[in-house]
Amino acid sequence: MDFMQRFRKVLTALTLVLVLTMSVACNSAVNAKAPTTSLPPAADTTGNYALLERGNTSAGQDFGKWVIQTSRGLVQDAYVRDQNKLGVVITRQVRPNEVRPLAKSLLQGFHKTFPNQDLKVLMYAPDKKLILTADYDIQSNQIKYQ
């Protein structure tokens, strides 16, 4: 019995070493084949748009996720930068006359989450072209559209 237990332990140790060696070797081979120049995470090799990072802070990421989840299919993507800039890619369901009210609504929610500062909402068409900029001035409590 003692011999069988030792044999099992040695066999287990050898198997573990073999698995670890193969894992490291395979991982190194995969990394070696990766291209040296890569596109940023927002685009793939065909030029198709991929999802942006939702925010560069945890509060920004949470707000970006909230915008996507509560948009009911009107917002394709959203991101927050520096807790005062919100970028939104709308879907084709949004009519041109609905863009400004949507921007205003987003600014109101953005202001509740990030109070006491000037804010900016950048509205992008589904083809990722900027179509509207809404600036909220904290002192005048006014929204300026461009």
CATH number at residue 112: 3.30.70
Quickly tell me which residue has 């006491």 as its tokens.
Answer: 116
Beta-carbon contacts of 89 under 8 Å, excluding residues fewer than 6 positions away, are 75, 76, 77, 78, 124, 125, 126, 128
Number of domains in the chain: 1
* pLDDT tens per residue across span 96-125: 999 999 999 999 988 998 888 999 999 999
Q: In what order do the strands lie in the sheet with 130-137?
A: 75-81, 85-90, 119-124, 130-137, 142-145
Query: Is residue 124 one of the residues assigned to a domain?
Result: yes
Name the pTM for this structure. Answer: 0.62
74: number of Cβ within 10 Å: 17
Query: Is residue 108 one of the residues assigned to a domain?
Result: yes
Query: Is residue 8 one of the residues assigned to a domain?
Result: no
Q: Across 28-127, where does the E strand assignment appear?
A: 75-81, 85-90, 119-124
Q: Give me the domain span that covers residue 136.
A: 58-145
What integer is the mean pLDDT of 52-67? 81
Strands 85-90 and 75-81: antiparallel
Query: Is residue 105 one of the residues assigned to a domain?
Result: yes
Query: Is residue 18 one of the residues assigned to a domain?
Result: no
